[in-house]
């Protein structure tokens, strides 16, 4: 499903305001490790994925503490179901893991992409 105009505008805004874990991971993924092209803040439908790999149909979300608060877990689950119904596999990574070792997280993501 194509992204809405609102999703494109939101994606552009989010690219300028990436969180520290997103920035740290992007600094590695943008170099296309394993010859894999990663997109950042990629719009899909009414949502925006933190990272997306077209060839693997893999959506990657970096989850900070806010994803554990209030109705956010239920909203994330609904979002993931919709995205997966579009044929995109979702991978959720803790922001804490990225902050602890962004290289290890990037290596795991690349391995996952090349295994398919």
68 φ/ψ angles, rounded to the nearest 5 degrees: -105, 0
- Is 68 buried (19+), middle (13-18) or exposed (0-12) by CB count in 10 A? exposed
pLDDT at 15: 59
pLDDT at 7: 66
In angstroms, the CA 13 to CA 116 distance is 32
Are 54 and 39 a contacting pair, CB within 8 Å? yes
- Per mean pLDDT, which range of 6-20, 33-47, 56-70, 71-85 is the poorest? 6-20
Domain 5-115 belongs to what topology? Endonuclease; Chain A (3.40.960)
pLDDT at 67: 47
Taking CA atoms, 3 is separated from 7, 21, 55, in Å, by: 6, 25, 18
Task: Considering only residues 93 and 71, tell me which one the structure prediction assigns the higher pLDDT.
Answer: 93
Over residues 40-70, the pLDDT tens digits come to: 999 998 899 999 999 999 999 998 766 455 6
């Amino acid at each position: 499903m194509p992204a809405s105009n609102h999703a494109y505008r939101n994606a552009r805004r989010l690219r300028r305001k990436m969180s520290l874990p997103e920035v740290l991971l992007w600094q590695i993924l943008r170099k296309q490790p394993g010859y894999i092209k990663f997109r950042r803040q990629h719009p899909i439908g009414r949502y925006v994925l933190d990272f997306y790999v077209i060839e693997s149909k893999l959506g990657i979300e970096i989850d900070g503490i806010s994803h554990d608060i209030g109705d956010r877990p239920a909203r994330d689950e609904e979002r993931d179901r919709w995205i997966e119904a579009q044929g995109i596999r979702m991978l959720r990574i803790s922001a804490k893991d990225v902050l602890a070792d962004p290289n290890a997280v990037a290596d795991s993501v690349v391995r996952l992409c090349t295994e398919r």
